[in-house]
Structure 1
Amino acid sequence: MTTQLPDIEPLLAKLTEQVATLLSAEGRERCALVGIHQGGAWLAGHLQERLALPGEPGAIDIAFYRDDLARGGLQAEVRPTRMPIDIEDRVIVLVDDILYTGRTIRAALNEIFDYGRPAAVRLAVLLDRPGRELPVQADIAAHYIDLPARQRIKLRGPDPLHLVIEEARS
């Protein structure tokens, strides 16, 4: 079975439109974008620019919060978390590329709460695929895609951003 990957530009446009609607509903001044390294941070940067938001988005590295390090080991490059805003009572729009098992999001929430207590965390993802292992759901998803369990979808970039399918390692 060959899966047709969607074009990235229409996905970015849809994600931007949906995040703009969320910002309007929540109060633009109360919201802050925070992307998960690596793909989510790239997307948060694109959204920050497209939505003409001031400053830079936050970026978090969840490597130390993963519960599956024994399977894959620690990432070769651990990037610093950048939380450029006081998150107390703010609405954090957590941005990631692919929502699959929910484990990355769980780890990201742990990292965010180390920096304070936001009023809310809203999840915006480029792609959502079935296969949750944790009760995590996106508030915003630009596109839903179904892949066989043996395949993974990855966002590559940062310039240009593009999607690829890889065979999962055993």
Structure 2
Amino acid sequence: MDQNVIILDKAAIERTITRIAHEIIERNKGVEDVCLIGIRSRGDIIARRLAQRIDQIEAAEVPVGIIDITLYRDDISSPHGAQPEVQATKINFDLNGKRIVLVDDVLFTGRSTRAAIDQIMDFGRPRNIQLAVLVDRGHRELPIRPDYVGKNVPTRLDEQIVVSLSEMDGEDKVELRKEQDRPRQPH
């Protein structure tokens, strides 16, 4: 019996990106001083898609940055295990006084979000930081709440949310899987 469930398909992801883009524009009364920062390795793709959709809606380019939180994480603990690969953080704009929308694919414990906020604050002093996620699966360990949510998917701890995006995985889908079926890093 197949225990995997498609939560969002390609069309649903596109509609979700469009809705979140509209919500960002509405909440910020336009896009002046709005910047998107995606958490590597799928939040950055979602941030680029949001920026493209905002440009289509508002005819205004929104700066997009990429943040790698590897060195800021507190949940990578084994000094003898495989070391995570650190990739470049690319924020080529001034964060001071800006409205930052931090973008991630899945919100789970909140630890990745906390690490990203810590790193953003090392780059400058934004006016505020808002959080946009494609999927919120619950199980928070920290007091973190997203401002924009594509889909709320309450999960059990033995389940995983796997986000596949065409730029990285060849197709767009969000899947709910049992832990034993998981092929890559859990969310």
Q: Which portions of structure 1, spanning 4 or more consecutive aligned residues, are displaced by more than 3 angstroms?
A: 1-4, 71-74, 165-170
| Corresponding residue number in structure 1 for 2:17 | 12
The Cα of 1:35 is off from its aligned counterpart by 0.6
| Corresponding residue number in structure 1 for 2:48 | 45
Q: Provide the aligned C-alpha RMSD in A.
A: 2.2
CA distance in 1, matches of 2:86, 2:175: 23
Describe the SS at the equivalent of 1:86. coil
| Corresponding residue number in structure 2 for 1:146 | 154
What per-residue deviation string (whole Å, max 9, x for no partner) do you get for residues 2-58 of structure 1? Answer: 64512322222222222222332xx52211011100111000000111111426510
Describe the SS at the equivalent of 1:34. strand
Describe the SS at the equivalent of 2:71. helix
In the superposition, the TM-score normalised over structure 1's length comes to: 0.87
Summarize the alignment of residues 78-93 of structure 1 with structure 2, pairs less than 5 Å apart.
Answer: 78-93=86-101
CA distance in 2, matches of 1:123, 1:13: 16
Q: Which moved more, 1:149-158 or 1:32-41?
A: 149-158
CA distance in 1, matches of 2:172, 2:96: 32
| Corresponding residue number in structure 2 for 1:34 | 37
In the superposition, the TM-score normalised over structure 2's length comes to: 0.80
Which residue of 131, 150, 162 corresponds with 2:173? 162
| Corresponding residue number in structure 1 for 2:126 | 118
Cα 1:55/1:17, change in 2 over 3 Å: closer
- Tell me the amino acid that sits aligned with residue 31 of structure 2: R
Cα 1:81/1:158, change in 2 over 3 Å: farther
Q: How many residues align?
A: 167
The Cα of 1:104 is off from its aligned counterpart by 0.4
1:70 maps onto 2:77 in alignment: yes
Structure 1 residue ranges without an equivalent (≥5):
none
Larger radius of gyration: 2
